[in-house]
Amino acid sequence: MAGSLDGDCFAVNPRTRYLLIAPPLIFMGLFFFYPLMRIFMLSLAPEGSLDLGGVKKLFHTGYYARVLWFTTWQAALSTLLTLILAMPAAFVFARYEFKGKTLIQSLTTVPFVLPTVVTAAAFKALLGQGGLVNAAGMHMFGLEGPIIHLDHTVELFLLAHVFYNYTVVLRIVGGFWARLPRHLHDAARMLGASETTIFLKVTLPLLAPAILAASLLVFVFCFTSFGVVLILGGPRLATLEVEIYRQAVHLFNLPLAATLSLIQIVFTFCLMAVYTRLERSASVALIPEAVKKTAGALRSGKDRLVVGTCLFFMTLLLGTPILALFIRSFLTDSGPGFAYYLALFENRQQSILYIAPAAAMLNSLGYALVATLIALFFGWLATAFLSAPRQKIATTLDPLLMLPLSTSAVTLGFGFIIALDKPPLNLRSSWLLPAIAHALVALPFVIRSLLPAWRSIPQSLREAAAMLGASPRRAWIAVDWPILNRALVVGAVFAFAISMGEFGATVFVARPQAPTLPLAIYRFLNHPGALNYGQAMAMSCLLMVTTAAGFLLLEKLRAASGDF
């Protein structure tokens, strides 16, 4: 009976519970901490003894200082633009109730969950040299060349960053705003304050923690942006992520790449530490819990105008790139058709992939299935340990298991190629390595999906089952499992979708003859020819539909369980 009250049929004896956390910690040690340690060693002691030459080179060479400065200011500008453009939507969704609001809010998540290569392909389809805007302009005005030139410019990937991070501000700030007490606004209004004064003196100070949390998160995402900058920025524009990739893969300068990775690690860890502390102190979450909200109905023409204008702008910013991607995937030189999709099943002579593009889709599906199983296995064991009450060690292990969230995928992938190349961990040529990398990235999401559900199980139900004579295993099946199975599905969807779209680590660890779909898209986008470009658009559409469908299912599961 004592075992049943513990809430876990696998740990009748409390001491055996520590056996649950051992496999996840070993997994993290081998595939997270060991590769990071090798990066530190290669950066600070490339010949086995302390050597700060690589670090000094960064400060004595103007190029790398400019890369660091460019990475920082483009992230800061992207964050500022995202705040400016998303804050009006946060206000509308916080203060107004209107038809279709829940569905629209779910759809705004789609850009955020899209793989970065799909985001880049969407903006190429819309604003690139061969995009729809230029094609329409050339046709309308009878021009022979494009009317706008945004390929390989800062402006293009800044716009892509806003597209990608828009929902972060909408969710965090809008969710926090919706929970602000309405009576504070009403009291200030009764005292004669204008709406501007109320916002500046009352609302803005209360929103400050949420705005800061959202800003930090967006800044980190833009600071570590890889796929978008690599594809849209071109060879002249390099962030730290892109420079790590170039030094490691193109120039094979591993010590310098390790030093850049070290700077990246320190910077992102510090920012994420500030974010997590702010999140705990201000109760700010990306997907907040459902509580009573203060939104009201549309009562006047002014309200309808505000909401309508906001929704129109959101559709323009978030919808047109996705729509352009779909249209461009069907628009061939000979007119609309399925030629690009049919070509995905062909392996043309001298193909840059050496396999049919459809085979890359199968590779991605295979990696995603294995990565999902790995992440679910270790995530389940970790959550079973962390969910036990009155465990001081859990307060340390929980953030420890979240560390992959604050580490860039490019850094992880680079760590893999320098750490896992010698026995007994010689996995450089193994088909399992990409799945392990994807599982490592997905593990924190699985734990975050399972842990709230596990901790929400009423202890009274377990006690009642025990008093009725149920064995620990029977009580777990009857009480815990019906609550946990939905959270397990949510974790599986997260892991599968993350694996399908992962690009930063995969570009290092995937075998050339077994590329994933994101790698295939990147290769086709950088290979000349209308057919290659069209196939990249078609593959991007397939990947977009796969990941978006998974996360829309996740939103539905969350809504059904009352989490959002």
Angle, CA 450 vertex, CA 445 and CA 510 arms, to 5°:
35
DSSP state of 289: P
- Picking from 477, 486, 409, the residue whose alpha carbon sits closest to that of residue 440 is 409
Rg (CA), the chain: 25
- Return d(Cα 109, Cα 132) in angstroms, integer: 24
Question: What's residue 276's pLDDT?
Answer: 66
Residues 6 or more apart in contact with residue 167 via CB below 8 angstroms: 86, 108, 109, 111, 112
Question: What's residue 291's pLDDT?
Answer: 42
Report residues of the chain scoring pLDDT below 70: 1-16, 48, 50-57, 59, 276-296, 348-354, 389-391, 459, 462-463, 465-466, 470-472, 555, 557-564
CATH number of 1-35+368-528+542-564: 1.10.3720.10
Tell me the CATH number of domain 75-254+266-312, given options 1.10.3720.10, 1.20.120.420, 2.40.50.100, 3.40.1280.10: 1.10.3720.10
Question: What's residue 284's pLDDT?
Answer: 45
Residue 128 CA from chain centroid, whole number: 24
Question: What's residue 27's pLDDT?
Answer: 95
Residues 6 or more apart in contact with residue 33 via CB below 8 angstroms: none
- For 543, the token pair is 């990947």
Q: Domain ranges for the chain, please list them.
A: 1-35+368-528+542-564, 75-254+266-312
* Structural contact between residues 388 and 394, judged by C-beta atoms closer than 8 angstroms: yes
| pLDDT tens per residue, range 235-271 | 788 888 899 888 888 888 888 888 888 888 888 888 7
Question: What's residue 79's pLDDT?
Answer: 96
Question: What's residue 152's pLDDT?
Answer: 87
Q: Please give the mean pLDDT across all residues of the chain.
A: 82
| pLDDT tens per residue, range 292-333 | 455 667 778 888 999 999 999 999 999 999 999 999 999 888
- Return d(Cα 267, Cα 66) in angstroms, integer: 16
Question: What's residue 9's pLDDT?
Answer: 44
| pLDDT tens per residue, range 64-89 | 888 889 999 999 999 999 999 999 99
- Return d(Cα 412, Cα 408) in angstroms, integer: 6
* Structural contact between residues 449 and 496, judged by C-beta atoms closer than 8 angstroms: no
